[in-house]
Amino acid sequence: IWEFRQVADRVWKEIKPMANYALFLKKELTAVGGSWVKKVELDQHLQHLYCCSETDVFCYDMDGNQLFKLEGAHRTTITGCRYSLKARLLVTSSADAEVKVWSLTGGLVTTLRGHAKAITNQLLHPESSSLVMTSSLDGTVRVWSLDVMECLYV
């Protein structure tokens, strides 16, 4: 985690905007499973940072403390990770064409299936975070309900 802050004692060699600012390492997240982090999601409401490696999800608070981890959350690359404030559930999607719903304690609630190919992205509905939209290489967009745990629209 890097912090961008002003450096008061820096001598200017040229005049340019933000010349007296620099990046400083604030905290290193060492427990991300020894794998590349391929996706990072920030939950502004909970102030959680979700780091998705190939098949795992690691959740940190803004001080860099690990809150929980989902090891082996999916069989293939995780393509999305969102927290629904309304449903109080974490939703992950993957190239394995599955949408998984998790409690914040790390327990799998359910697996939603319907896409025939890799899921490329996901987002929460702007007016109701209990609706999750996913897009897939199968050419479809699906709207899933976290209230009834099924697909509502294709």
Q: What is the CATH number of the domain that holds 132?
A: 2.130.10.10
> In a 10 Å sphere around its CB, with 0-12 CB exposed, 13-18 middle and 19+ buried, how is residue 113 labelled?
exposed
> What gap in Å lies between CA 46 and CA 28, rounded to an integer?
20
> What gap in Å lies between CA 153 and CA 8, rounded to an integer?
55
Check residue 136 and give its pLDDT: 97
Q: Given a cut of 90, is residue 32 above it in pLDDT?
A: no
- Torsion angle of the four alpha carbons 45, 48, 51, 52, in this order, in degrees rounded to the nearest 10: -50
**Residues above pLDDT 90, as percent of the chain:** 47
Q: Regarding predicted confidence, which is higher, 19 or 110?
A: 110
Tell me the residue range of the domain where 144 lies: 2-153
**Residues above pLDDT 70, as percent of the chain:** 94
For residue 95, give the nearest of 78, 108, 81, 110 by alpha carbon: 78
Contact between 39 and 79 (Cβ < 8 Å): yes
> What gap in Å lies between CA 123 and CA 131, rounded to an integer?
9
Check residue 11 and give its pLDDT: 67
Q: What is the mean pLDDT of residues 66-75?
A: 90
Which amino acid would we find at residue 23?
L
Check residue 115 and give its pLDDT: 97
- The CB density around residue 65, as the number of other CB atoms within 10 Å, is 10
Indicate the pLDDT class of residue 78, thresholds 50, 70 and 90.
very high
Check residue 116 and give its pLDDT: 96
Q: What is the DSSP letter of 137?
A: T
Contact between 87 and 129 (Cβ < 8 Å): yes
Count of structural domains within the chain: 1
Check residue 29 and give its pLDDT: 76
Q: In the predicted model, what is the mean pLDDT of the chain? A: 88
Q: Given a cut of 80, is residue 12 above it in pLDDT?
A: no
Q: Regarding predicted confidence, which is higher, 5 or 36?
A: 5
The C-alpha R_g of the chain, in whole angstroms, comes to: 19
Q: Given a cut of 80, is residue 3 above it in pLDDT?
A: yes
For residue 103, give the nearest of 119, 92, 115, 112 by alpha carbon: 92
Q: What is the mean pLDDT of residues 19-36?
A: 77
